[in-house]
């Protein structure tokens, strides 16, 4: 099955897994999805992720272990919201001075810059702008 926006598919799968209360979500892997998962792990939004070889050669699966706070019956997901900003039909770019703040710094913006995929805060430190991929809070 062909997906026109793989990043939006990844965010939708994570959101659906959180709503259903799942611990692990799996999806087709790519370099961009792995970079986003790495940022989510570093910022504490997910527990871990792993890349597993798929059934056919050259394909791999990205498994993300979601993070929850609290005990069994009162557990709440760490990720409360995901928003895709730049889409294939409407790319959104930002300068280094205009990088968006997400919930006054409580969330993160993930950017694709000439220096790689990074958070908005890191892009401000390096003084680079780029394409705003998504916002997570």
| pLDDT at 72 (0 to 100) | 81
SS3 state of residue 31: helix
- Determine, yes or no, domain membership for 125: yes
1 in a structural domain: no
pLDDT of residue 117: 98
Number of structural domains found in the chain: 1
Which residue segment(s) compose the domain that 87 sits in? 6-136
What integer pLDDT is reported at residue 3 of this predicted model?
A: 83
User: pLDDT 10s per residue in the chain (137 long)?
Assistant: 578 999 999 999 999 999 999 999 999 999 999 999 999 999 999 999 999 997 888 889 999 999 999 988 899 999 999 999 999 999 999 999 999 999 999 999 999 999 999 999 999 999 999 999 999 99
pTM, full prediction:
0.94
Helix axes 6-20, 31-42, angle to 10 degrees: 40
Question: What pLDDT is attached to residue 54?
Answer: 79
CATH of the domain at 69: 3.30.1490.10
Sign of torsion, CA 5 6 8 12?
positive
Whether residue 72 lies inside any domain: the answer is yes
């Amino acid at each position: 099955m062909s997906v026109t926006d793989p990043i939006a598919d990844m965010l939708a799968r994570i959101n659906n897994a959180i709503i259903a209360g799942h611990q692990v979500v799996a999806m087709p892997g790519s370099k961009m999805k792995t970079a986003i998962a790495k940022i989510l792990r570093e910022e504490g939004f997910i527990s871990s992720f792993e890349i597993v070889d798929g059934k056919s050669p050259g394909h791999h699966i990205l498994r993300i272990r979601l993070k929850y706070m609290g005990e069994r019956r009162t557990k709440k997901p760490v990720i409360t919201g995901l928003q895709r900003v730049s889409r294939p039909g409407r790319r959104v770019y930002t300068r280094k001075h205009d990088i968006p703040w997400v919930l006054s710094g409580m969330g993160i913006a993930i950017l694709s810059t000439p220096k790689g995929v990074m958070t908005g805060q890191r892009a401000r430190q390096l003084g680079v702008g780029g394409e705003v991929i998504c916002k997570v809070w």
